[in-house]
Structure formats: C-alpha cells, structure tokens
Structure 1
Amino acid sequence: MDHRDVIASLTPQERNRLTGKSDVPGLIQFAVHGGAIILFGSLIAARVPFWPLLMLPQGILIVFLFTLMHETVHRTAFETQWLNDAVARLCSLTIVLPADWFRYFHFAHHRFTQDPQNDPELAFPKPETLRQYIVHISGIPLWWGQFKTLYANAVGRSRDSYVPPKGRPKVRAEARAMIAFYALVLVLAVWFQATTLIYVWIVPALLGQPFLRLYLLAEHGRCPFVANMLENTRTTLTNWLVRKLAWNMPFHTEHHAYPGVPFHQLPEFHRLIERHLKVVEPGYVSFHEKYIETLR
C-alpha cells in the first residue's frame, strides 16, 4: 500500500473533516509563538539578569518560524488566504527566506520527493561524514545559500528550473523588496544606535539555526529514493512542546501523503494511518544517534 491507496481508503466524511481549514487554531498558535518571541525579546532588550541565556530560546523560536512559513506557503495555517500570505511575508523577512521563491521550491519538493533528478532539496546533499554533519548542523551553509538566493533573485540571475518564466518577475520583485527592507532596518539601526537588534534578532537566529537543522534532517535523511510517501518521508514521534514549536510537522509522512491536511488536523490523520507508516522514529535523539553511526 502506498500513500495514494491510503488516501483512497478514507471515507468522504473523513476527507472533509481532515482537510477542513480554520483561522482559529492558527491564530491561537501564532499568538502563542509570536507572543513568546516578543516576550523573550523584551526581556533581552531590558537586560534582565542573565539575559544572554535567553538568546538561545529566542533564537529557537525565531528560526522555527520556518515551520509556520511552510504552513502558510501551503495556505493551510489559516482558512483566510490573505492571512496566510501576510504571515508568510512576516516570517519571510524574519528568517531571510523569500516566500514566493520558497513556494516554487517547496512545491517541486512535494512533487518529486526523494527523486534524485528532480527534487530540489537533494541539490543540497545530506552529510556523509562527521565533518559534513557538523558543518551542516552549524547552519552556515544554509545562511550562505539563502543570501545567495536572495541576491540571484534580485539581480535576475536565478536559473532555478522550478521557478516558471511567469514567476521570475515575482521572485525578482520579492527579493528586491526584501533587500530594501533590510537596508532600511540597517540604516535606522545605525542612525539610532540600536544595537539591541543584534541581541534580540541576529545573534539568537544564529544560535537557534542548528536546532532547526537537526529537526529538518530527520524529515527525509536516510529515507529511500522511492516515490511512495510512506517510505521516502519520516514521521518522528516527539513530545507536545516540539510538536507545537514545529506546527505539527514532525508528522511529516502524514503531511507529504496528504498536503491538504492543515497542521491542526495532522494528529488525527496520524491516528488514522499510523499502521501504514514505513519510516517512524521514536525521537530526534534516536534519529541522530543512528544517523551518526552511518557517517564515514
């Protein structure tokens, strides 16, 4: 049985329930996630006792806005389309990842998951040595790659095959707008000597990125290069806090098998199809212990 058979086995009532969108769960979770960032940022800005220790949780919260952006790119975080698009823009600016470009990239990843010839994620090989693993987890290649993408899109030099010709003006305008925004923020920060920005946003994001790299590596790392979503994608069983932080994306096989299911319905979808899942890991520590054992 593959993912298509699993979807076909659902009743019409189950499909309707699973794919039902709503603004309420997304707004509640967005308020909690965004509120936590504002809270930690305020405590850092106020230089409360031991404030440098708060930069790590602040950074984890910031970089995991990627998972919210991922949901809004799918337009499943909220029922209202403009709300998905607005929050995607906000996350895009916060984590320096162009939302329109990422939509083309990510949809190609869904269409060709684990296809070595066509999946754009596989253009960034998974680490095969301990040194590569450490560099990958550091987040340095990720930041460098995102800045290169932003520049290439802005100057019109992007040749990404998954971006259609009609989409190139859009990603070019998006990149230029983002660069203009960062330039304005930089000028204002220098003018007002706002060094707090470094400790509230930039340093925390650098500190938090390795945790996002560890999380994302488990989604497809060491999964077979086959078309069946039940085999080429991993679901990682984890605690409530990590699931909330990642907008339920640890249920990643479920997401790939049926991308139209909103984040808040993934736990139910998991319960319906868990007996069919081929690649399930009991936790992220367990996954990385096994992954490290395979490194040369």
Structure 2
Amino acid sequence: MNQPERLPSALLGDKSNLSDKARLEILNLNGARPLAFLGQAFRAWAAIIGMIAFASYMDSPLISLVAIIIIATRFNIFALLVHEQVHFLGLRGRYGDAIADLIVAYPLLGVTIKNYAKVHLSHHKFYFTNKDPDHLRKAGVDWTFPMSSLHLAKLILSDIVGLSFIKLLRGKRHESTKLFQRPHPSPQWLRYLFYLVTAGLLTYTGTWNIFVMYWVVPLLTVFPLIVRLGAISEHIYNMPGASVIESSPLIIQKWWEKLLLPNLNFTFHAYHHFYPGVAWLNLPRVHDIFKREKLINESNVFYGYWAYLKYLQSSQQKPVTSAGSSGRGTHGA
C-alpha cells in the first residue's frame, strides 16, 4: 500500500508563527463554555424528540426515513459534545462528567466520557505515532484514498446494515492507562442506573417499538456513516510521523451543510490540535486570527465536504507542489 501524499497545506504555520498579540487573543479564548454546551445538547434533544413525535403521528415511511436521518445528525452532535467534555470544555466541577454522560454520552449506547478520554487524549499526545490509537486503528485500506468504488460501497453497506457500530465502539475504548485519569469520573453505577431506568420507562409506556425505530435504527445505520465522514474529514491517515498541518485538511462548510449536518466546527480540526483548550464555538475566531496573520493559503482551503472528497478520490496521488502553485486554484470553486 502506497503512503498517501501530504496534504497541500492550507496553513502556512502553526501557533509558533503567530505574533504576541495573536497569541494573547487566542489565550483569552481558552476555557469551558457550559452554556453553549448545554444549549447544543438541549437543541439536539428537542430536535430528536420533535422528530420522533412528528414521525410517529404522521406514520409515513418517507417521513420516518427523514426522521431517522435527522435524528442521526443530532446523535453526531451528542458525540461532538462528548469530545468537548473530554477536553473539559463543557461542564466543569465535580459533577461535570456525570451530567455530560447522562445527557450526551450514555444515550449513544456504549459511550462514556471516561473511556473516550483515554483514546482521544492519547491521540493528541502521541499524534501519528505507534502510540496513537486513532492512527493505528485507521492504518489500512479502509482509510486509504483514492479508494475503489467497490470498496467504498462495501464500507457504506457495512455502515448502513449496522456492522460498523460495534467497530466504532471498540475503537473508542483503550487499554487501561494512568496517563489520562479523570479528576471526577462518573461512578459506574450511574451508567447501569441510566439504562435500567430507560428500559423501565420504555416498558411502562409500551414504546419499545418507537425506541427501536427512531433510536436504535439511526444509531446503527446513518450515525456510523456520519462518523465516517467526520473521521475522513478530520485527518488523512496512513502517514506515520506526519505533522498536524500535513495531515489535517481545512474545510469550511457551506451554509446548507451547516444546516443539514452541523459539526460544531470540527472541520477546523488543525486549530483544535493547536489549541485543545479552545471550545468549538471559538474555532472560527482562531481561523480569523490566522488569516489576519497571513498564515492561510486560500488556494488549499476546501469549501464544502464535496470539494474535499473529490480531492481524495481524484487528486491525492498527483504530485503536491509548493503552497499556492499546484495549479488547482481554490478548492471547491
């Protein structure tokens, strides 16, 4: 398997290239944003409950399909909020992890803040080395582009029939380590109590059929597809020792992508690695600062997921020249 080309760099430098003024500005963006965190969680729950109620009332196959897709996009919001909490950017204090587990992690049926923290923080600390669990898990043909249409179709089929969900959960666990212990982890009994109470309520209300249709089905089918898109857009893998800039695209969502598939600025992912203490809502401000500091090569910025996916499937094997001279113009144009 050939090693993929390094990305044509959208970023012309990292935080070490910033002026003192810019560093101070970004430093002031650090810290948890609990109200924004709770607001996102509340809106995601409202959308899920609203779609379940509407689809159940209408009893239409088409509306049920739309509901399943929309609900899966809100599950993705849950997952992204888990990511925020892992970096202590959501809820702080003794009960922060417990509340986050209850409202965004446990609903994903198998995810916990504590377990995901071990994987994700290892990824940050050991980026693209043999100690990076994400890098090891995604080193293979399933994450190598360009990819044959047949292989891509097999991966998508694996997602929509539910086979990828268990792999996804296993990939978010990590061997026991003392490196990333949570200061106030949720007690184990809380997780069991959550599922026990949920099962009791579903049994009492006779709504197991609704739960399976509008919770289990989107979680096992559409949600893994969205997670795959997010992972592909996060980094190019199979590049041991690559830097964040070399392996992380800068993708700016189009307005309709933000509406249909909100991602909490996850496609500004290089900035997240530079500044893991900056919450999702402030990453566009970091981008603006980098632009002002003339550290952005606009010709290598991808505008929309489709522009990036087209690049992966058709352009990645072409030689990458110096920034701004590759002859491709602005991505997504």
Q: Same fold (TM over 0.5)?
A: yes
Question: Which of 261, 281, 285 pairs up with 2:278?
Answer: 261
Given the superposition, is the C-alpha separation of residues 167 and 262 from structure 1 closer, same or farther in structure 2, using an over 3 Å criterion? closer
Given the superposition, is the C-alpha separation of residues 172 and 240 from structure 1 closer, same or farther in structure 2, using an over 3 Å criterion? same
**Contact 1:64–1:212 under 8 Å retained in 2:** no
Given the superposition, is the C-alpha separation of residues 269 and 223 from structure 1 closer, same or farther in structure 2, using an over 3 Å criterion? farther
Q: In the alignment, does 2:166 pair up with 1:144?
A: yes
Question: Which of 51, 58, 76 pairs up with 2:63?
Answer: 51
2: CA distance between counterparts of 1:77 and 1:243? 21
Question: Which of 290, 303, 307 pairs up with 1:282?
Answer: 303
2: CA distance between counterparts of 1:93 and 1:36? 18
**Contact 2:41–2:77 under 8 Å retained in 1:** no
Question: Which of 238, 245, 258 pairs up with 2:253?
Answer: 238
TM-score normalized by structure 1?
0.78
Alignment gaps of 5+ in structure 1: none
Letter in 2 for 1:198: V
After TM superposition, the structure 1 stretch with the greater mean CA deviation from structure 2, 260-269 or 215-224, is 215-224
- 1:31-59 alpha-carbon deviations (Å, 9 max, x no partner): 32222122112212334554313221112
Would you tell me which structure has more helix in proportion to its own residues? 1
Alignment gaps of 5+ in structure 2: 1-11, 318-333
2: CA distance between counterparts of 1:25 and 1:114? 31
SS of match in other structure, 1:15: helix
Question: Which of 32, 54, 75 pairs up with 2:88?
Answer: 75
1: CA distance between counterparts of 2:97 and 2:195? 22
**Contact 2:30–2:277 under 8 Å retained in 1:** yes
Question: Which of 269, 272, 275 pairs up with 2:289?
Answer: 272
SS of match in other structure, 1:211: helix
Give the corresponding residue for 2:265.
248
Give the corresponding residue for 2:152.
133
2: CA distance between counterparts of 1:146 and 1:79? 27
2: CA distance between counterparts of 1:39 and 1:234? 35
2: CA distance between counterparts of 1:180 and 1:23? 25
Give the corresponding residue for 2:9.
none
Given the superposition, is the C-alpha separation of residues 12 and 148 from structure 1 closer, same or farther in structure 2, using an over 3 Å criterion? closer
2: CA distance between counterparts of 1:109 and 1:98? 17
Given the superposition, is the C-alpha separation of residues 57 and 30 from structure 1 closer, same or farther in structure 2, using an over 3 Å criterion? same
2: CA distance between counterparts of 1:65 and 1:293? 33
Q: CA deviation at 1:147?
A: 5.1
Give the corresponding residue for 2:232.
217
RMSD: 3.6
SS of match in other structure, 1:18: coil
Residue correspondence of structure 1 range 1-296 to structure 2 within 5 A: 2-6=13-17, 9-11=20-22, 13-47=24-58, 49=60, 50-52=62-64, 53-78=66-91, 82-83=95-96, 85-96=98-109, 97-115=111-129, 117-125=130-138, 126-128=142-144, 129-130=147-148, 131-137=150-156, 138-139=158-159, 140=162, 142-146=164-168, 148=170, 160=175, 163-164=177-178, 174=188, 178=191, 181-182=194-195, 185-186=198-199, 189=202, 192-194=205-207, 195-209=209-223, 210-221=225-236, 224-226=239-241, 228-240=243-255, 242-243=257-258, 245-274=262-291, 275-276=294-295, 280-293=301-314
Given the superposition, is the C-alpha separation of residues 69 and 12 from structure 1 closer, same or farther in structure 2, using an over 3 Å criterion? same
Give the corresponding residue for 2:5.
none
SS of match in other structure, 1:198: helix
Q: CA deviation at 1:290?
A: 2.6
SS of match in other structure, 1:31: helix
Q: CA deviation at 1:90?
A: 2.4
1: CA distance between counterparts of 2:199 and 2:40? 30
Q: CA deviation at 1:294?
A: 7.4
1: CA distance between counterparts of 2:59 and 2:307? 36
Q: CA deviation at 1:7?
A: 5.8
TM-score normalized by structure 2?
0.71
SS of match in other structure, 1:19: coil
Given the superposition, is the C-alpha separation of residues 171 and 281 from structure 1 closer, same or farther in structure 2, using an over 3 Å criterion? same
Q: How many residue pairs align between the two structures?
A: 285
1: CA distance between counterparts of 2:171 and 2:194? 16
Percent identical pairs in the alignment equals 18
